[in-house]
Amino acid sequence: MTLIAVVLYRNSAIEEVVVAAEGHNVALARSLSNTLWSDFGPYVTTVEEEDGDRLRNRSETAELHRLVNELTRGLPVLKIKIFRIDGLTVFSSQADQIGEWKDNAGFRRAAEDGFAASKHSYRHTFSAFSGEMQNRDLVESYIPIKGPDGRVEAVMEIYSDVTLAMARVTKNTISYLGGLFLISLALYFLLYVIVRRADRILNRQYIELDKARTNLQAKNGLLEHEIQQRRRAEAALQDARQDLEVRVEERTQELRREVTERRQALTALRNAKDDAEAANQSKSEFLANMSHEIRTPLNGIIGMAGMLLDSNLSEDDHHYAEVIRHSGESLLAIINDILDFSKIEAGRLQLETVDFDLPTLLDGVVQILTPEAHGKGLALPVFLDPEVPARLCGDEARLRQILLNLIANAIKFTRTGGVATQITLLDDITADKSVVLKFEVVDTGIGIATQAQNRIFEQFTQVDSSTSRRHGGAGLGLAICKRLVGAMGGEIGVVSQLGEGSHFWFTLPLGRQDDAGSQVGWLEDLQGACAGLKVLVVDDNPVNRRAFEDQLTVLGCETSVLPDAHSALETLKAAADSAAPFSVAIIDHIMPETDGVALSKLIRAVPALADLKLVIASAAGLRNTGKAAREMGFDLALSKPLRPNSLIKCLRALLADAPAAEGTLANPEADPRSRASIRVLLAEDNPVNQRVMIALLAKSGVRVDVAGNGVEAIEAVRSRPYDLILMDIQMPELDGVQAARRIRELEGEMGHIPIIAVTAHAMKGDREKYLQAGMNDYLPKPINRAELLSKIDYWADRQRGEPTAGNRQRAAPSKAEPDAEDGGAKKKRGNRARSSKRKSGAS
């Protein structure tokens, strides 16, 4: 350590000497350059390359040598050289070095970077101004000489004699080394003294420890005495233990008596539990009976109101009938919410896993809610991300119920604009064939205040709970959604601002179907077919424009959207003139100023647009839409709201140049003449329900016979062939379940007639009970007209062995329907479609 300190001290001292010498050399160089450079500079920079003798003999060299000697006289400068920046020595105080070339690190730094560079060196011999010198310490400095423009024009090398300074450094170093040596000796002596002192202290401690050992031996004797005393105490403790055992035995007998008493109390609790379960069963039966008794007259009220609305009424009468029907549907919605919440609160919610098709489910949800949305002039688009698999497995009924509730709720609180539904893929878990989907319902409605968002998912809670609130409801819909989403392993939430609409979302884990086809996305069949297809969308509703643009972009189309007919016509003309015409134009039917039909006529009047395919997008539910679309100047018709499958079918038809029927507008009630060959037996004892069903079926073109009870139904089946039986459950003489079982026992075709249970029973297990009795399907009251006709079409065609008839919408069997207590009646949320609903009296 001492040697290192000495070396560091010497290096530091040398560095100080070099820095000081360099400062002197730089000052000398500046003095020389200021004095000589104005005269000598041009010579240095312009002199041509010559040999050393010729340079030495030049008059400028002699004059420079004289001036340098005068300026350095009395200074410790031994030699001065001047180099051009290319390295040529143009002057040296040692004449024989003129003409040599210089190229070392110090010179290059001064010439290239413009900074002085110095180093210390020791020379045994050195040629100086005064001749040869022996054993000299030198500082060699390279100093750039800059011209008026700041550029380096030459480099001056100056050798300074620092022998005396280095001698002082050496002397100081030796003194420093001696001082350190003395300090080290002092430290060693101090250490020796400390060690000796510590040794004396340790000896004294050893003596004290020996004394402590003697004391411990004495204490050991005392401990042995204490051990003997403890042994005597242990003997006393043994006696006490025996006494304690006696007492424990006595306590055990007391505990046995307490156990007997507790068992008796447990028996009493079990009896109380049985009583509570019986009371709960009574409550369930009461709810079922109340639901049945309320649904039955509602079927007549809503059904007859629907029939009145289909008749020729004055404006006031039509308004009164609409109020009656809407009030009945609101009451039905409250009943269904109460039944759902009652079941969830009782812990009887059961989930099922079935295979289902997601686009078909979405189409069904939109079709149910379309009438109410269109009644308010709202757009109702659905966007399904192409990465979402189509065929999934999970609780289809609960998913449908959640979507119906959220979308209907959004429609209720939205006056203008629309309600958009979007489904995207959050996670695809290949290992267990499952996906996590995110469902979003975004509206342009009234919005929700921030302080109200934390409680809207609580039961019996309304955003506006004032007595003057505009919107009805029991405040259970969102609470049920939250419970269902949680039970299915998902999350639900809302983002909203008052006056700017609401954004409800929920996530659900769902499984993929086992078959390989279930892994294929719903856009696979059109992959690449629409790439580059130019499509123009004309719609005054911004929600519809956004929906069309998103779906067409996903399909690969080049999409443009416009809000009115005038700008659309100009855009089409400009595109045709630019040799990049549009291939397809999708035009809204109803628009302000110029509607879709008028725009089509204007387009057809332009020869350059003759090849343009026109599609009318309408929510009007036109009949015979294939023919009607062509008569209005369109190639195809597309129903709104926009659904995932409908746009695909329309584009497929356009690309294949298929008939217009591929893209016709859906009409759930279809043409009554298409059902003229269907004969249905209605087994119903209630006169009001008979009238409602007869009027509804007759208006739809279905031929219907009526049986007042189960016995009459069996006799009717024996006497005449039917395509379908609509079977009430509670009837006199013979109820619907017994009648269905006896019909299944009949021979031949009579025993295989499809039977649909039509009942006001909407509690859990009702549907399964009816299917086990031999019925094929289930339809809860009040009756949804579109659903009834859809099921009639499905089972009538299946009974005859026919494919799908005409344009009629087909219903899936009841297994795909929701639980009876969710009800097909669950589809009541916002459902203002033509509905023939429940009977009065016995089911």
Q: Using one digit for the tens of pLDDT, what is the confidence trace for 131-179? A: 778 888 888 888 888 877 778 878 888 888 888 888 888 888 888 888 8
pLDDT of the residue at 805: 39
* 373-395 mean pLDDT: 85
As a whole number of angstroms, the distance between CA 220 and CA 226 comes to: 10
Using the predicted structure, report yes or no on whether residue 632 has a pLDDT greater than 70: yes
pLDDT value at position 816? 36
Tokens representing 809 are 């919408």
The answer to whether the beta carbons of residues 521 and 390 sit under 8 Å apart is yes
Asked whether 669 and 693 are in contact (CB, 8 A), the reply is: no
pLDDT at 334: 66
Task: Find the range with the poorest average confidence among 20-34, 98-112, 279-293, 704-718.
Answer: 279-293
Rounded distance between C-alpha atoms, residue 477 and residue 492, angstroms = 13
Does residue 532 have a pLDDT over 60? yes
Largest CA distance in the chain: 149
**Per-residue confidence (pLDDT) for residue 626, from 0 to 100:** 62
Rounded mean pLDDT, 458-479: 56
Helix-strand-coil split of the chain, %, nearest 5: 55, 20, 30
Check residue 529 and give its pLDDT. 62
pLDDT grade, residue 210 (50/70/90)?
confident
Q: Residue 391 in contact with residue 516, Cβ under 8 Å?
A: no
More confident site: 201 or 832: 201
Per-residue model confidence (pLDDT) at position 503: 92
Which carries the bigger pLDDT value, residue 29 or residue 43? 29
| Residue 517 in this model has a pLDDT that exceeds 50 | no
pLDDT digits (tens, 9 = 90+) for 723-752: 899 998 888 889 989 999 999 888 888 888
- Which of 267-281, 508-522, 565-579 has the lowest average pLDDT? 508-522
- Model confidence at 841, in pLDDT bands (50, 70, 90)? very low
Contact 399, 355 (CB under 8 A): no
The better pLDDT of the pair 318, 117 is held by 117
pLDDT at 461 over 60: no
Residue scoring higher pLDDT (699 or 528): 699
At 821 the pLDDT is: 37
Q: Please state at what angle helix 565-577 crosses helix 596-604, rounded to 10 degrees.
A: 30
Please tell me the distance from the alpha carbon of residue 382 to that of residue 370, in angstroms, as a whole number. Answer: 12
* d(C-alpha 821, C-alpha 765), whole Å: 8
Grouping H, G, I as helix, E, B as strand and the rest as coil, residue 112 is: helix
Say if residue 522's pLDDT is above 50: no
Residue 343's pLDDT band (cuts 50, 70, 90)? low
Q: Is the dihedral of CA 538, 360, 789, 686 positive or negative?
A: negative
pLDDT at position 436, please? 92
Percent of the chain scoring above 70 in pLDDT = 80
Residue 440, both tokens: 């979003």
Higher pLDDT, 358 or 841: 358
User: Which whole number is the average pLDDT over 102-131?
Assistant: 77
Select the more confidently predicted residue: 454 or 211: 211
The whole-number pLDDT of residue 670 equals 47
Q: pLDDT over 90 for what percent of the chain?
A: 9
Average pLDDT of the chain to the nearest whole number: 78
Q: Kindly report the length of the chain.
A: 843
DSSP assignment of 278-312, as one string? HHHHHHHHHHHHHHHHHHHHHHHHHHHHHHHHHS-
Residue 348 is predicted with a pLDDT of 60
- Give tens-digit pLDDT for 761-779: 766 667 788 888 889 998 8
pLDDT at 838 over 60: no
pLDDT of residue 796 exceeding 90, the answer is no
Answer whether residue 439 shows pLDDT above 90: yes
User: For 242-275, how does the pLDDT look when each residue is reduced to its tens digit (9 = 90+)?
Assistant: 999 999 999 999 999 999 999 999 988 888 888 8
Checking if the pLDDT of 657 tops 80, the result is: no
